[in-house]
Each structure stands twice: as structure tokens, then as C-alpha cells.
Amino acid sequence: MPFITEELYHHLPEHLRTSESICISEFPIINPIWDDDDVDTEMELLKSAVHSFRSLAATLGIAPNVPKTGFLVAPEARDSELLKTLSNHVATLAKFESVTVVTQGHEALSQCVQDVSLTYIAYLQVDKDMDLSKTTAKLSKNLDKSRQSLQGYLKKMQAPDYETKVPESVRQLNSTKVDELNVEITQLERAIAELERLRV
């Protein structure tokens, strides 16, 4: 919001304010000296972990305001130590009650669904009161809908005159939707498999 930015600008030390208003000040110039690969790595790991937990909760249909507990397991010691320093931030941004870094084989992991990435595995603890059969049925229904929707898009895109008659902007939207549906289907299939494992 411009007025907030302007207010913050006027709270900067006087030697940092080059103009009377931020609106007419020089545009910031990138300073290579400020580049920090370690910080970039931390931010990417933080974003990835938050996305994993949010995705798990959304796939299972768990509302943001419902208390949730998460765990992280990283095979590499360096990643594990880094995640320990980020776990509180991950919990806050993912809207989890807590996120704890543990080792593989921790007893709590047996009642969790998981999301695997290259550097870590994110675990969401399934509430003991959750009806696994009902949740699995719901996810299966959503999976069927997503598959039908994907088939509909693919059928349109396979039409003989699709490339010539459909505007490029619409083709791009369709391609994006196909990619999103493929990701959604993969997530639902994983979640269903995890819930089936917990039911055994």
C-alpha cells in the first residue's frame, strides 16, 4: 500500500532518504555485495517446507484454524541442523501448532502422512479422531473429479484444429490447468495411499 510505504520511508534515518518522497526517489540498485548464497538456500528450504505442510493439510481437507502437528526428517546432518533453526518459522507460516525436526524411526511418525522432497520428508500427524475411511472416501471422490477434469482438458487439446483455432492465451491457460491437475492428482494419490497405510 503506497501510503504505508511512504510512512515507512519517512522513518528511515535522514542520511538514507534521498528525496522528499519515496515516489520521486531513485529506484534501488542491486548491490552484488549483498548476495548471500547461504541465506538464499535457507529461504528456499523454508519456502519448500512451508509449502509441503500447507499442501498436506489442504489435500486432507484440514482447515487452517485446526491445530496441527508436523515433523521434519532430513537424511543429511547439515539440512537437519538448518531445519531446526527454521522449524518455528515453518510452523508459523504453515499455520501449524508445532513443527519438530526428528530422526527417521521416531515413534510419532507411524501416525503421520508424509510428503517427500529432495532434502527432507515432511510429516503431518493425523488426529486420532479423524475418520480415516470417511477422509479416504472424500479424497477418492476428489481424485475422480480431478481425473475427469484432466481428461476433459486433454480431449480439447487433442482436437485436430486446436493449435489453429484456439487463441494462444487460451492454450497457455489450458496447459497451466493440465499441469496443476497433474500435481493435484499426484498429491491426492499419495494422500490416499498414506491413509490406507494408516488404516492397516
CATH (one of 3.30.160, 3.30.1040, 3.30.2320, 3.30.450) for 37-125: 3.30.2320
Closest CA to 185 of 134, 152, 149: 149
pLDDT computed for residue 81 by the predictor: 95
Tell me the backbone φ, ψ of residue 142, rounded to 5 degrees.
-65, -35
* Sign of the dihedral through C-alpha 100, 105, 111, 116: positive
pLDDT computed for residue 118 by the predictor: 82
Q: pLDDT tens digits, residue range 46-62?
A: 999 999 999 899 888 88
**128 has pLDDT over 90:** no
Cα–Cα distance measured from residue 94 to residue 4, given in angstroms and rounded to the nearest whole number: 26
Instruction: Indicate the domain borders of the chain.
Output: 2-34, 37-125, 132-198
| Number of helices followed by number of strands (H, E) in the chain | 6, 4
pLDDT computed for residue 200 by the predictor: 62
- Provide the pLDDT confidence category of residue 36 given band limits of 50, 70 and 90: confident
**192 has pLDDT over 70:** yes
CA angle 57, 64, 123 (to 5 degrees): 30
Q: State which H helix or E strand residue 170 sits in.
A: helix 168-199
Q: pLDDT tens digits, residue range 103-126?
A: 988 999 988 998 888 889 999 999
